[in-house]
Amino acid sequence: MNAEGRFCHWRDRPWDSVRPIQTSFLTGSDAVAIEMAARSYSYRGIQTIKNPFDWALYSLLLWELKPRTIFEIGSFAGGSALWLGDHLNNFGIDGHIYSIDINPVTDVSHPRVTFLAGDGRDLGQTLSPNWLASLPRPWLVIEDADHSYGTTIAVLEFFHGWLEQGDYVIVEDSLSAGKPLQALEEFLMVCGDEYEIDTYFCDFYERNMTWCLNGFLRKRTTARAIAPSFPPRELGEPGLPEWDEFWLNWIDSCLDLYERSPEHLGALAELSNARSRYAHYWKEAPIEDLPVIWQSTSGQIYQRLVVSRFGQRPILPTDLDFLLTFVEYCSGLPEPESAIRTALVAIAYPIPAVDRSVWERIYPQLPDWLAPVVTAALEAWQRR
């Protein structure tokens, strides 16, 4: 492979794409369906939400890099980790994948994959220095978590001090509304001289025709025992302030598609992710702000999600674990906050997933702005 002109400094790269992703989401149901088709990809029967074009790039990178250690931040259903494990075997690479998610995968196994519980915004709680120092090189880090600014910048900053010359980082879904592309640019403003963009992968089909816009990075410098001091920032939890009109229109279009095709894998995946992201926000948003948010565009789209048939689908084991953990967390809050936060999240899941005694406890304490939607959700479930 000819490396001449292949690697470039981030300041020398255009930060756009010939792929019309910025507009294709919003040009009607046909465009949405085309975009969603790529998100319906599965591997060995397990949903991966991975663009098959990008999978082809991953295959090329794995063969060239031959990574001994792969960190996948964001597991979803485990399909991508399974794919990576099989490809390590197929290519004869003696490597291992550590796939990290707040809700770790429990129903997928592979001898080269370990699923770990962890938060991309606080990886130090999961990955200890002594353990990291023992892992073989080269490394491949895949940032594919919640596609928010806060998580992306935290993952990049965490691994920066650990990456050796020649290790790779991939930032997935950089054009998502959660602003991971902004996080990537800001990170490179501080550390950009230590990385180079691999244009072979970014431009394999056409300039930045990938979901990883300028997101294939190779480390140029050696690892440091201590990472540089990054500007202080308030990250908080992934939440609605990071979502803009683009994302809200996208979820609204996904609901349109789901109502026409309830088994559409892409729509199911996007709505499942949206439900999880809303749940994190309902947990952390100031209690006094919730009535205003509920009446906003963001709140109206969430209410549409609640009353759609999506909330009546059978619940996955990982979603059930998350929901029950959330309900338990809320049980320790004072009333009526406990009732409000519990109801806000639970109404987007099958009603029987939460014990009837919980509903009987929280329902009388709900405020007027929330009670009607909860009532509608309960009645819709009873009519099934």
pLDDT at 23: 40
Alpha-carbon torsion (202, 205, 208, 210), positive or negative: negative
* Chain CA centroid to CA 110, Å: 22
* Chain CA centroid to CA 107, Å: 19
pLDDT at 178: 54
Tens digits of residue pLDDT in 72-106: 999 999 999 999 999 999 999 999 999 999 989 99
Distance CA 267, CA 209 (A): 22
- Helices and strands in the chain, H and E counts: 16, 10
pLDDT at 252: 83
pLDDT at 337: 94
Q: Which of 293, 192, 180, 314 is nearest to 241 (CA)?
A: 293
Place of tokens 């491949």: 140
Q: Which of 179, 324, 175 is nearest to 240 (CA)?
A: 179
pTM > 0.75: no
Distance CA 266, CA 257 (A): 9
Distances (CA, A) of 230 to 159, 188, 191: 13, 11, 9
Residues 6+ apart with CB under 8 A from 12: none
The strand pairing partners of 278, in sequence order, are none
Tens digits of residue pLDDT in 234-255: 544 444 444 556 667 778 888 8
E strand intervals along the chain: 7-8, 42-43, 46-47, 69-73, 96-101, 113-117, 139-143, 168-171, 195-198, 216-219
Q: pLDDT tens string for the chain (384 positions)?
A: 345 689 999 989 887 665 544 444 434 454 455 566 666 778 898 888 787 788 899 999 999 999 999 999 999 999 999 999 999 999 999 999 999 999 899 999 999 999 999 999 999 999 999 999 999 999 999 999 988 888 999 999 999 989 999 999 999 987 665 578 888 988 998 889 999 999 999 999 888 888 898 999 999 998 865 555 555 555 444 444 445 566 677 788 888 878 888 877 667 777 887 888 888 889 888 999 999 989 988 889 999 998 887 877 888 777 888 899 999 999 999 999 999 999 999 999 988 888 889 999 999 999 999 999 888 888 877 776
> Could you tell me the CATH superfamily of domain 7-219?
Vaccinia Virus protein VP39 (3.40.50.150)
> Domain boundaries in the chain?
7-219, 240-382
Is there a contact between 39 and 49 (Cβ–Cβ < 8 Å)?
A: yes
56 CB-side CA count, 13 A: 10
> Roughly how many angstroms between the first and final C-alpha of the chain, as a whole number?
59
pLDDT at 35: 62
pLDDT at 229: 55
Q: Which alpha helices (DSSP H) does 102-175 contain, by range? A: 129-133, 149-160
